[in-house]
Amino acid sequence: MNAIVLITGATAGIGKACAEKFAAAGYDLIITGRRKTRLAELKSTLESTFGIKVYPLAFDIQKRESVFSAIQELPEDWKNISILVNNAGLALGRDSFENADLDDWDTMMHTNVDGLLYMSRAVLPCMIKHKKGHIINIGSIAGKEVYENGNVYCASKFAVDAISKSMRIDLLKYGIKVTAIHPGAVETEFSLVRYKGDETKANAAYDGFIPLTAMDIADTVFYSASLPSHVCINELIITCTQQAGTYYFNKNAS
């Protein structure tokens, strides 16, 4: 086996780009998400293109039992995970606090926060045993600054920021690295999911500027994971050149 990377939310966007990036560098991959067909297609493409091994795991990351059993049931030779990329996540709705859908709030907190916690706890015993490992959490600029109608999505990403900082302290004694990457606007399926399939609203989210691509973030994740063992990027905020915060954009720049 090559070194193993587990990437959550690899069926689309940033997670899929991370899978392509690590596969191209010769890592074996465990890829997760709910959409089985997409996982199977990605496995087939990456194995045939890069000659690596891919183990797909389809489950809902919100469900604690599903996360722990998926990891416990991995074949022994797949359990030695070197890098965990906690990427699966979503925003649902962009509504004012008093009107926002409570189910949307629950789904965001359960996915972005609980899912990341469960996955980290499920994978950690192996990293602790080997006194080696790297956990890379995908946060957001929304976890650094709140914005109007961002309420619970922002809260979930502030939680990712806090969890990343505290994990780094608690896991210091095991030599495990913890990195948080906080992207600004990245054009993926994110906005389509946020606006529940409304393509007009989703496309409008990127009007007037050139957003980051999923591969821009995958490059940054891969760079963070490729540094010498004594170097750990703690956190990194990355935006496109036309963005300087959750509110500040230089739109329609020539």
Quick note: the x/- pattern for ligand 8X3 over 129-168, rule CB under 6 A, is -----------xxx-------x------------------
Closest among 24, 1, 146 to 74, alpha carbons compared? 1
How big is the CA angle at 223 (ends 222 and 227), to the nearest 5 degrees? 115
CA distance 49 to 102: 43
- Residue ranges binding ligand NDP (CB under 6 A): 9-15, 33-35, 60-62, 87-90, 111, 138, 140, 183, 185-186, 188-190, 193, 214
3-state secondary structure of 204: helix
Q: Among ligand NDP, ligand 8X3, none, what does residue 63 contact (CB within 5–8 Å per kind)? A: none
Which residue, 160, 166, 165, 163, is CA-closest to 143?
160
4-7 sheet: strands from edge to edge: 54-58, 28-33, 4-7, 81-86, 133-138, 176-183, 235-238
From residue 89, alpha-carbon distances to 1, 34, 61, 85, 215 in Å are 29, 12, 9, 12, 17
Q: Which of 27, 118, 153, 195 is labelled catalytic?
A: 153
| 185 sits near ligand 8X3 (criterion: CB under 6 A) | yes
Nearer residue to ligand NDP within complex by CB, 34 or 79: 34
Q: Which is nearer to ligand 8X3, 87 or 140 (CB)?
A: 140
Given ligand 8X3, ligand NDP, none, residue 163, with its beta carbon under 5 to 8 Å by kind, binds none
Q: Of 72, 76, 75, 105, which Cα lies nearest the Cα of 90?
A: 105
Active site annotation includes 153: yes
Q: Which is nearer to ligand NDP, 70 or 81 (CB)?
A: 70
Choose from ligand 8X3, ligand NDP, none: what does 131 bind? Cβ within 5-8 Å by kind.
none
Residue ranges binding ligand 8X3 (CB under 6 A):
140-142, 150, 185, 246
Catalytic residue annotation: 153
